[in-house]
Amino acid sequence: MELYNRQQIQDVVTLDRAALEAVEAGFRALGEGNVVQPPILSMAIEESNGEVDVKTAHIKGNSRFAIKVSPGFFDNPKLGLPSLNGLMIVFSARTGLVEAVLFDEGYLTDIRTALAGAIAAKHLSRADSRRVAVIGAGLQAELQVAALKLVRDIDTLDVWARDVDKARAYAMRMHQTYGLETIVHETVADACREADIIVTTTASRQPLLSGEHLPDGVHVTAMGSDSPEKRELDTSVMERADHFVADTRPQSENNGELKAYAGHQPPFEVLELGQVVASGKSPRTTDAEITVCDLTGTGVQDTAIAGFALGRLAS
Amino acid sequence: MELYNRQQIQDVVTLDRAALEAVEAGFRALGEGNVVQPPILSMAIEESNGEVDVKTAHIKGNSRFAIKVSPGFFDNPKLGLPSLNGLMIVFSARTGLVEAVLFDEGYLTDIRTALAGAIAAKHLSRADSRRVAVIGAGLQAELQVAALKLVRDIDTLDVWARDVDKARAYAMRMHQTYGLETIVHETVADACREADIIVTTTASRQPLLSGEHLPDGVHVTAMGSDSPEKRELDTSVMERADHFVADTRPQSENNGELKAYAGHQPPFEVLELGQVVASGKSPRTTDAEITVCDLTGTGVQDTAIAGFALGRLAS
């Protein structure tokens, strides 16, 4: 059994095409019905404003699977500690023996979450997409764009965030690091007006994006909502979309944007990202159609990225 | 963060009164409504005849909680490997940071399972219980009796197991190790005839124990069934009992003996072990009453034993 720390993992796993293909293969297997993926185990530690989630999945036939434990303790910043944390345990799928523990402190979650955004854009956005609007200015605001660059020739970044100073700092960083033309906007509407792709990356509990903000032909990835309290999209976004895709429908209903339709059928078809990847063709049929993808984070992404990481670490 | 292996853990955690009190405190907190205990996460790895379970619980106000991952791969013995395995991860309940990983390979599960049997007997069996009938001859057949000796003056052991050679070897071991008078029987009925306490410890998928096997005043602990396929008690056992207790009712319905009543109300009251412990008094009111306790294994036991183990390891 091997133990690896965050630095060792960061040294070998980055946002590259091979990592993207590994996570994409996980979604493909999910769409083909070749994945066992139980519901998320979730526990609140109310007195510390904390929660812990456990996610797992097994891709049938794979020699390994991973279990990820993600604590989120939201008063940690007051103590000078990060809110998010965690580790992944990699097991042999033949014997159940532990092959490795990846003490990645949430790093692999950041990576596989960004890659899922890129996978969504690869299969749903217009191939000529160049201009991205990002709502939010946190870590995923950066990683989502970095991952998008693997699949689309992004050159322009429009930014809106609640905290304008953070929005400016983020835009500056994205300009310096990735050479993007960046514009900070005062409203969500302004940020989205020219977008080919919109990515919402916030922990908002109220919808930030409305259907009226969407230009024709845009693709929207909403990756912020991952719990029963959070929500980024007004129902008008989904109802305006020509194609709505969830990473997994039950999770979107519990933790994602479909919770807006709690208890009743949404007035549109719900596709799953794995099905789209497995089908090999985009549901988009014209450049004017609007696509929306809701990402809540799935166990198969964790199993895929952990197996990928261990492959690189152990070689 | 500290890592501990099985040997280190075995050196400090054994079946003693302090460990019993730690697990009993967990059940008490559960009964008092001071525990968050989400449903078990369970995933099958069919191609390897394997499964993995994740259990957790948080005792409100405790400084730590544990998450246990238990793989069971039932073809492992063909490979010369144990079927059961696993580890526990201990987290700070203040920050969610990992405090320790206990690579106990299932040892602490064995211990906390045996202690739950002793806790059930302490609160449900007659105080003058001396004679125990054990159904099965595996590891828990031994540990359950060793744990019972912490709470009752056991002197005689009646044994029945499907494999008579294993039954004889087990009886010999229990005589030599614990100085018990031991008798191997040819039928379950014979083994139970004089019992003060009956413990079923098998992986049976059909009921082994019937109501007609129960002498007046007996206490039964059924600890074998812990999955949807397994079952040790005929419904006549529960229906003959004056008091039926589950470690937790939902788990007994899914994985334990209450699954015999799937979809309808059982024709008897269902108590929970935590409630019994918290109440401080046994539901038993006479020496002739029959009590039955179904143990499926709960996350609070894991959190309790992991915290106890880490307390000893770190001191």
Strand partners, B2: B100
CB–CB of A96 and B48 under 8 A?
Answer: yes
pLDDT digits (tens), chain A, 315 positions: 999 999 999 999 999 999 999 999 999 999 999 999 999 999 999 999 999 999 999 999 999 999 999 999 999 999 999 999 999 999 999 999 999 999 999 999 999 999 999 999 999 999 999 999 999 999 999 999 999 999 999 999 999 999 999 999 999 999 999 999 999 999 999 999 999 999 999 999 999 999 999 999 999 999 999 999 999 999 999 999 999 999 999 999 999 999 999 889 999 999 999 999 999 999 999 999 999 999 999 999 999 999 999 999 998
Determine contact, residues A309/A9, Cβ cutoff 8 Å. yes
Indicate whether B99 and B169 sit together in one domain: no
The helix or strand, by DSSP H or E, that contains position B96, with its residue range, turns out to be none
CB–CB of B44 and A56 under 8 A?
Answer: no
Residue B224: what pLDDT? 96
User: Is pLDDT at B315 greater than 90 in this prediction?
Assistant: no
Residue A312: what pLDDT? 97
Tell me which chain B residue has its CA closest to the CA of residue A71. B96
CB–CB of A96 and B58 under 8 A?
Answer: no
User: Is pLDDT at B27 greater than 90 in this prediction?
Assistant: yes
Indicate whether A104 and A24 sit together in one domain: yes
Q: Could you give the CA distance from residue A139 to residue A152 in angstroms, rounded to a whole number?
A: 20
CB atoms within 10 A of CB B206: 9
CB–CB of B85 and A98 under 8 A?
Answer: yes
Residue B76: what pLDDT? 97
* Tens of pLDDT, residues B227-275: 999 999 999 999 999 999 999 999 999 999 999 998 899 999 999 999 9
* Interface test mutation site (partner B, options A62, A94, A103, max chain B beta carbons within 10 A): A94
Q: Provide the whole-model pTM.
A: 0.94
Cβ-Cβ contacts under 8 Å, B49 against chain A: none
Indicate whether A194 and A265 sit together in one domain: yes
Q: Could you give the CA distance from residue A21 to residue A15 in angstroms, rounded to a whole number?
A: 11
Q: Could you give the CA distance from residue B186 to residue B263 in angstroms, rounded to a whole number?
A: 36
CB–CB of B93 and A36 under 8 A?
Answer: no
Cβ-Cβ contacts under 8 Å, A58 against chain B: 43, 45
Cβ-Cβ contacts under 8 Å, A87 against chain B: 89, 98
Give percent of chain B above pLDDT 90: 98
Enter the DSSP assignment of B40: P
Determine contact, residues B158/B132, Cβ cutoff 8 Å. yes
Please provide residue B142's backbone torsions phi and psi, each rounded to the nearest 5 degrees.
-75, -50
From B53's Cα to the closest Cα of chain A, the distance in A is 10
b/e A225-258 (16+ beta carbons within 10 angstroms → b): bbbeebbbbbbebbebbbbbbbbbbebbbbbbbb
Catalytic residue among A53, A158, A196, A226: A226
* Tens of pLDDT, residues B145-204: 999 999 999 999 999 999 999 999 999 999 999 999 999 999 999 999 999 999 999 999
* Interface test mutation site (partner B, options A34, A58, A75, max chain B beta carbons within 10 A): A58
Residue A97: what pLDDT? 96
Ordered DSSP codes for A64-125: EEEEEEEEEETTGGGGT--SB--EEEEEETTT--EEEEEE-TTHHHHHHHHHHHHHHHHHHS
A158 CB contacts (<8 Å, ≥6 apart)? A131, A132, A133, A134, A182, A183, A185, A190, A191, A192, A193, A194, A195
**Is residue B193 packed enough to be buried (19+ CB in 10 Å), middle (13-18) or exposed (0-12)?**
middle
Instruction: Provide the angle, in degrees to the nearest 10, between the axes of the packed helices B107-124 and B299-313.
Output: 110
Ordered DSSP codes for A168-228: HHHHHHHHHHH--EEEE-SSHHHHHTT-SEEEE----SS--B-GGGPPTT-EEEE----ST
Indicate whether B122 and B246 sit together in one domain: yes
How many beta-carbon pairs under 8 angstroms link A with B? 120
Indicate whether B275 and B178 sit together in one domain: yes
Cβ-Cβ contacts under 8 Å, B48 against chain A: 93-96
Tell me which chain B residue has its CA closest to the CA of residue A44. B36
Determine contact, residues A245/A121, Cβ cutoff 8 Å. no
Tell me which chain B residue has its CA closest to the CA of residue A64. B45
From B64's Cα to the closest Cα of chain A, the distance in A is 10
Residue A63: what pLDDT? 96
Cβ-Cβ contacts under 8 Å, B60 against chain A: 46-47
Average pLDDT of every residue of chain B:
97
Determine contact, residues B192/B220, Cβ cutoff 8 Å. no
Determine contact, residues B145/B177, Cβ cutoff 8 Å. no
CB–CB of A94 and B73 under 8 A?
Answer: yes
* Interface test mutation site (partner A, options B1, B87, B97, max chain A beta carbons within 10 A): B97
Q: What is the mean pLDDT of residues B27-47?
A: 97
Q: Could you give the CA distance from residue A56 to residue A310 in angstroms, rounded to a whole number?
A: 16
Half-sphere exposure at residue B250, Cβ-oriented, CA atoms within 13 angstroms: 6
Indicate whether B220 and B124 sit together in one domain: yes
In the three-class reduction of DSSP (H, G, I as helix; E, B as strand; rest coil), residue A128 is classed as coil
CB–CB of B85 and A96 under 8 A?
Answer: yes
Indicate whether A257 and A131 sit together in one domain: yes
Indicate whether B232 and B309 sit together in one domain: no
User: Is pLDDT at B12 greater than 90 in this prediction?
Assistant: yes
* Tens of pLDDT, residues B92-138: 999 999 999 999 999 999 999 999 999 999 999 999 999 999 999 99
Indicate whether B69 and B11 sit together in one domain: yes
Count of domains forming chain B: 2
In the three-class reduction of DSSP (H, G, I as helix; E, B as strand; rest coil), residue B157 is classed as strand
CATH assignment at residue A284: 3.40.50.720
Indicate whether A91 and A210 sit together in one domain: no
Residue B213, domain extent: 114-298
Respond yes or no: is residue B302 known to be catalytic. no
Strand partners, B245: B271, B293
**Distance, first Cα to last Cα, chain A:** 14
**Interstrand relation of A64-73 and A50-59 (parallel, antiparallel or unpaired):** antiparallel
Q: What is the mean pLDDT of residues B43-70?
A: 97
Residue B268: what pLDDT? 97
* Interface test mutation site (partner B, options A53, A98, A300, max chain B beta carbons within 10 A): A98
CB–CB of B87 and A91 under 8 A?
Answer: no
CATH assignment at residue B61: 3.30.1780.10
CB–CB of B52 and A103 under 8 A?
Answer: no
Indicate whether A127 and A276 sit together in one domain: yes
Indicate whether A190 and A291 sit together in one domain: yes
Closest CA to B104 of B44, B173, B14, B16: B14
Cβ-Cβ contacts under 8 Å, A47 against chain B: 60-61, 93
* Tens of pLDDT, residues A4-22: 999 999 999 999 999 999 9
Residue B262: what pLDDT? 87
User: ipTM of this predicted complex?
Assistant: 0.92
